[in-house]
Each structure stands twice: as C-alpha cells, then as structure tokens.
Amino acid sequence: MADFTKQDVLALAGERSYGRGVQYVDSVEELEADDVAIYAEVQGGDLYRVRLTLRDGLDGECDCPYGEDGNFCKHCVAVALAYLYAREHGEEIRRRPDLRPYLETLDHGALVELLLEASQTDRRLRHRLEDRASPRSRRRS
C-alpha cells in the first residue's frame, strides 16, 4: 500500500520525534492496512491509536496530545517504522476488514447501542458525537 522511506518519516517528524519514535517500535500493536491507510496502536503511558495515510505524501494522525495538535508524533514514527520493517522482512501485514457490509445489516437500535458503547471507551468518538449533538451544531446542518 504505502510507499515511503525512513527519510520521509524523519523529514516529517523531525529529529526529536523520530528518535523518540524509534524507541517505541516494539510497542506497536495491531498493525494493519487497507487501500488507503495504515493503522496501529502504540502502548506508551497510555494506548494511542495511529492512522497513517499517503495522499500528497506521508501524513499521520494520533490521539496523543502532541498528535492531536497536528504533529507527526513519536507514535506515528513508531508505526511507520514498524510498517517499513514488516514490509522489508516479508512479514504479513494484516488486511483491515471492511465493516460496511456488516454494519449495513444492523437495525437502527443496534447501531445506536454500538455507537454509545464505543463512545464510552473512545474519547475522540465521544467528543465528535457531543459536538454533533450540540444545538449550535444542529443549526448549522
């Protein structure tokens, strides 16, 4: 899927985040990819979720505080390097399944319950739902 190098990762992250990310490569879990992105979790002080994409070059999102500010953080570096290592060594990278066909089989109530359950453990999802539920947000829709 992705075509990038360690130099691309270094250029995007900077030396400090790159160096710190190298130390987290062994903490990368659940590495998987689909046609548009690479996904993983990185166990640090907390468990962080990372998504890397290649649109107009390598880009990354992480739910750590530094990543949420739009930075290519050490967790993004760790996932990028783990992905490159796996590809270079012929290791199989799990293909992320398409959930759409399954979700389309669920009724409205089941989808609501699934979202509520997920929002209890995923603060980013909870905040997105709260933002969309606010009266101010509904007026703009």
pLDDT at 1: 52
Report DSSP letters for 74-138, one per residue.
Answer: HHHHHHHHHHHHHHHTT---EEPP--HHHHTTS-HHHHHHHHHHHHHH-HHHHHHHHHHHSHHHH
45 and 60 inside one domain:
yes
18 and 56 inside one domain:
yes
The more confident residue out of 73 and 138 is: 73
Residue 50 lies in a domain: yes
pLDDT tens-digit readout, 90-127? 998 999 888 889 999 999 999 999 999 999 988 878 98
Query: Both tokens of residue 132?
Result: 């969309």
Q: Residues 38, 88: contact at Cβ < 8 Å?
A: no
pLDDT at 54: 86
- Range of the structural domain that residue 80 is part of: 6-95
pLDDT at 122: 85
pLDDT at 44: 82
81 and 17 inside one domain:
yes
Total tally of structural domains belonging to the chain: 2
48 and 12 inside one domain:
yes
pLDDT at 57: 84
31 and 90 inside one domain:
yes
11 and 68 inside one domain:
yes
Residue 91 lies in a domain: yes
pLDDT tens-digit readout, 45-88? 899 999 999 887 899 999 999 999 999 999 999 999 999 999 99
Residue 16 lies in a domain: yes
| 86 closest CA partner among 20, 130, 38 | 38
Angle at which helices 108-121 and 123-133 cross, to 10°: 120
The answer to which of 23-32, 59-68, 90-99, 131-140 has the lowest mean pLDDT is: 131-140
Mean pLDDT of 118-139: 81
Residue 140: pLDDT above 80?
Answer: no
Residue 1 lies in a domain: no
pLDDT at 2: 57
38 and 70 inside one domain:
yes
pLDDT at 94: 92
85 and 119 inside one domain:
no
43 and 78 inside one domain:
yes
